[in-house]
Amino acid sequence: MDANRPGHRSGDGIDPKPSVTDDAPTTRPARNSAQPPMPVSVAHVLRTYGVHGGERQLARLFAAEDPARYKITFLSIYNNPECEDYFARIPGLRQKIVLGLKAPVFPALRSEMLLLLLVLPVLQVRMLYLLAAGRHRICVAHGIQAAAACWLAAWFMPRIRFVYVHRGTKSEAGSHPIFKLLYRPFDVVAGVSVATAASLTSLVRGGRVLTLENGIDWQAFVSAAADCERHHPPGIVTLISSARLLPHKAQAFLLQAFAVLVRERPNVELIVAGDGPERDNLIALAGRLGIADKVRFPGHVTDINCRIVNSDIFVHASEVEGMSNAVLEAMTLGLPSVVVDAPGVSECHIEGDTGFIVERNPNAMAARLIALIDDAELRARMGRRARQRVEEQYSIAANVERYHAMYAELLAGA
């Protein structure tokens, strides 16, 4: 990637329903008045996995977009009816399927990448066609699969400015030199958090990576939560976790910490919201730890906002994230948190102010949970500060402006 190209600098949810304002002119403009500029056509590409954090994040971005400035097309790598229905709720959003294959969600990354390699030539040719037919000026590839699908077009379509957005944080295995070749034709390489961007620098020519921090439509999330029915068991402190049930999300660690906590504070319960291949293993672990009667596994939930407002403390132990939407959602609804220190997670919080950040040790997490359980005033104060931090730093409006600044810089250098 050329460091002199523009755009380089250092550095379960609610339905996406944009607000509607009546700004239509009441009089016809004069015949000789200047015509407004045509909106810029922007394509966003993603391999979807159902409706989870990444999909909800993009939906919020699209729903908040100004159609007079940017015309958005969402290109789904494979056919995913659940996501197609979800994104269809966004007025003005165009959707295209790159490859009509209904690809399953593979439990192992090896299987996922094998499928990608098998269909990659077809994906790349299809991307060339769809981008040319759509007359797009900017293409944003979210994730490795989208980057691979767009790679050929990024080399051979200089009229289009290409952006790669990495949605996780690079591990040692994900830092193979081959990624330098993958990212090379992109005009901008970006991460969704400071930690993500930092993990990319060694793989990008010149080490210049843009940070496009995720945002949340906190007003809509709070508004939706206001309609939730309140039902909190008396005398019980409820902990909640929200994430797909995957090994790196580390719900097994949460169960171990909760087992320590129960011995000290038995009047607690834990809700592990989410679904995934680890579900049966986690249920079995809860039984072995003797806490099965205090842990609930509701599966994938569509009312996570209501689950959060009926809980007291949010817990999160993921080993790595791009930027955790679940963490931001809990902060938005005023829950204090205890999170394990990890890239893309702990940077959302201010230690001791909006929540507690602990080492990956069950006793350490249990001790911080006890401090919150025993002090309702501390829970309330941390919850207020957490919501304030989201409003100031992680709003969807701020996220949209970060994208708009990138678009403007790319177009200026086109």
Per-residue pLDDT tens digits for 102-112: 988 776 778 88
Task: Provide the pLDDT for residue 293.
Answer: 96
Q: Are 65 and 400 in contact (CB under 8 A)?
A: yes
Reference 115, options 105, 129, 125; nearest CA is 105
Residue 285 has pLDDT above 90, yes or no: yes
Mean pLDDT across the stretch 250-275? 96
Mean pLDDT across the stretch 397-406? 93
Q: Are 298 and 273 in contact (CB under 8 A)?
A: yes
Higher model confidence: residue 230 or residue 377? 377
Task: Provide the pLDDT for residue 187.
Answer: 95
Show the tokens assigned to 200.
């990319």
For the chain, how long is the longest CA-to-CA vector? Answer: 78
Residue 142 vs residues 6, 132, 173, 381: alpha-carbon distances, Å: 19, 19, 19, 36
The rounded distance, in Å, linking the Cα atoms of 135 and 385 is 45
Tokens 């210049």, located at residue: 208
The rounded distance, in Å, linking the Cα atoms of 58 and 46 is 9
The rounded distance, in Å, linking the Cα atoms of 188 and 407 is 10
Residue 408's contacts (CB-CB under 8 Å, 6 or more residues apart) are none
The rounded distance, in Å, linking the Cα atoms of 276 and 299 is 8
Architecture of domain 219-393: 3-Layer(aba) Sandwich (3.40)
Tokens 């409820």, located at residue: 238
**Per-residue pLDDT band at 414 (split at 50, 70, 90):** low
Write the CATH number of the domain with boundaries 40-216+395-412.
3.40.50.2000
What residues does CATH 3.40.50.2000 cover in the chain? Answer: 40-216+395-412, 219-393
**DSSP helix/strand/coil, 268:** strand
Residue 36 has pLDDT above 90, yes or no: no
